[in-house]
Chains A and B, each alone.
Chain A
Amino acid sequence: MSAAATTDERLLRTSPLRRLLGRPELGSVVGALAVFVFFAFAADSFLRAASLSTVLYASSTIGIMAVPVALLMIGGEFDLSAGVLVTSSALISSMFSYQMTANVWVGVGVSLLVTLAIGAFNGFMLSRTGLPSFIITLGTFLMLTGMNLGFTKLISGTVSTKTIADMEGFPSARDVFASTLTVGGVDFKITILWWIALVAVASWILLRTRAGNWIFAVGGNQDAARAVGVPVTATKIGLYMGVAFGAWIAGQHLLFSYDVVQSGEGVGNELIYIIAAVIGGCLITGGYGSAVGSAVGAFIFGMTSKGIVFAEWNPDWFKFFLGAMLLLATLLNAWVRKRAEAAK
């Protein structure tokens, strides 16, 4: 039966075009192009290099979190605590340095450990209790929101942290997390580099490593994955720690960019990260998606939210435009994907 071997669909040679159509981020790339062209016509100032740098900055602050959130969604789980975890991470760093009168790098290190521990807690609770991640992380979200406020008030006496700008290590930490690079006369925020690096690392993990296969496997069918020996628990804890790592970077950017952190911030951002991942082609049910897609999703979000400002539309309708653009982008994305799957 040699004929059967050649007709095995996994061994079929597909044309590059076909393969491109099968990529999860294709729909979002088309959507991003549409949004880009739209604003290029709607707003004169949109195409200027400085404006694009602003759009990239806005996208990167979302994108840094959208990458690990996308990985988590591919692994079949949600994290509603991702938004406030960013604020928690910044608060821990700032308050530890201030209260201990320590070099700020010490606070940054402690913050990394604590943030990762919170991520691990999410994953651990999920695996142990078997409750849906929606409930677990909703609990974490509420606890973190309360703790951000409670601890800050308890320790600092006010609802925002004290300034740590005059402390040792601040300038070098700011260089790493919140500096500005000038390329060809245009200023770019360093978060853009962090974002690109995260996308590259996440893509490598997803496509080239065993852990990447595990992520797709647990998101696709958890029981089947466990049956073939995939370490489901470790993979999920790892994914939550990935989100925590992203929150740490975003949080440190927040701290070193603005110096003082407001404890009530971050609520609501978790939805924006999830939206970016979904626009980028991640399925809410898990098992499908890509890191590059999440970046494109974040870019669409950044372009839309800032493009509305560049176009100088009536601000009363801001949220409406934002919602309509997101819906259109996602519909276009879904349509392209359906076409692509039909063509396969």
Chain B
Amino acid sequence: MARFRTWVGIAVAGALTLSLAGCSSTGGKRAEDARKAAAARGAAAVTTPRWTFAMITHSGDGDTFWDIVQSGAEEAAAKDNINFLYSHDDEAQQQAQLVDAAVDKKVDGIIVTLAKPDAMKAAVARAVKAGIPVITVNSGSEESEEFGALTHIGQDETIAGQAVGEELNARGRKKALCVLHEQGNVGHEQRCAGVKETFDGTVQNLYVTGTSMPDVQSAIEAKLQADTSVDAVVTLGAPYADTAVKARQGAGSDAEIDTFDLNAKVAAGLKEGTLGFAVDQQPYLQGYQAVDLLWLYKYNADVLGGGKPVLTGPQIITKEQAAALEEYTERGTR
């Protein structure tokens, strides 16, 4: 045991020496703090009662996209003097139970995603019956009205895919690869199907293991080596676009890399020209608008969309817009 303690001591001492030894004069936390000092967060701008809104999504753990939705919702909540509760579960049954819990808590408004509508139907009906206004976001544009929600805010995945297909046509592409990082995800299939609908060339699907970046890279690389006629690669999530760029290098291909969704690296890639374009559904807007619309409903009985979904995308982002967006992707709101 004594020897064990000695080793722990040596390890701690070693770590301290190491951290004192070398500091980086570029990048890192210090650079970020400087940036943050400029953009301070706002406080409540209204004096309405402090209502409680709950948001329940189908997000898995550690999803960048939902992080941005959440940050949009939180900033709107701060402005509207809302007590904002966020919870998520990628299992539909668990998500429905979270909605039930929010109803039991008698919250003043519920924001929910309908990735698996059938499983959510009863829970949403219970909320509506209890007189709690419900807004659906992101997925479920078809079921939203039927389930009794006020409005749906989000992007139609098929329409987003179609926009990609049209953009690929405009760029004169002939053979595209659609990279799906979650086998069996309905939204992903809809996106690739949308691309197929409008694209004049051919589209092939490639399934990769999204939880392992080296696997994603080597799979795309292998595909580009096997089929050298592929001249466009479309990834369905921002983190995979950069990996696709690496795969392109490895395969010595000159295919254009395009992607759904946006993050700091994608914005930088667009600016440098290593990426062709990104199609953004503006997740920040989905969170922000949902909270703001619920507030408007409580305050002023306003509704938006007239029963039709309010679309937050697709917005095609190319080199021109990327430079302006870089700052916002850096702080995690685009």
Contacts and interface: CB of A to CB of B under 8 A. Distances in A.
B211 A306 contact: no
B308 to A, nearest CB: 32
Interface residues of B, number: 54
Chain A: interface secondary structure? helix
Contacts of B264: 163
Contacts of B226: 43, 45, 51, 309-312
A254 B29 contact: no
A78 to B, nearest CB: 20
Report the contact-size class of chain A (Cβ under 8 Å from the partner).
Answer: 35 or more
B62 A310 contact: no
Contacts of A153: 67
Contact of B243 (A100, A110, A258, A311): A258
B27 A101 contact: yes
B128 to A, nearest CB: 32
A318 B223 contact: no
A100 B212 contact: no
Contact of A106 (B18, B31, B207, B219): B18
B225 interface: yes
Interface stretch (A10-18, A165-173, A285-293): A165-173
A117 B11 contact: yes
Contact of A264 (B25, B29, B61): B61
Interface string A246-276: 0000000110011110111111110000000
Contacts of A264: 60-63, 211
Nearest to A254: B213
Interface string A53-75: 11101100100000000000000
Nearest to A53: B250
Given A106-B22, A113-B11, 17 more contacts: A45-B225, A51-B222, A96-B19, A101-B27, A102-B22, A106-B18, A110-B18, A110-B19, A158-B64, A169-B24, A254-B214, A258-B213, A258-B246, A259-B265, A264-B63, A269-B211, A305-B219
The 9 closest A-B pairs by CB, nearest first: A264-B62, A103-B22, A101-B28, A58-B218, A61-B214, A166-B27, A309-B222, A168-B24, A167-B24
Interface of B: 11, 14-15, 18-19, 21-32, 60-64, 67, 183, 204-207, 209, 211-215, 217-219, 221-223, 225-227, 239, 242-243, 246, 250-252, 263-265, 332
6 contacts: A51-B222, A109-B14, A167-B24, A167-B26, A257-B214, A310-B222
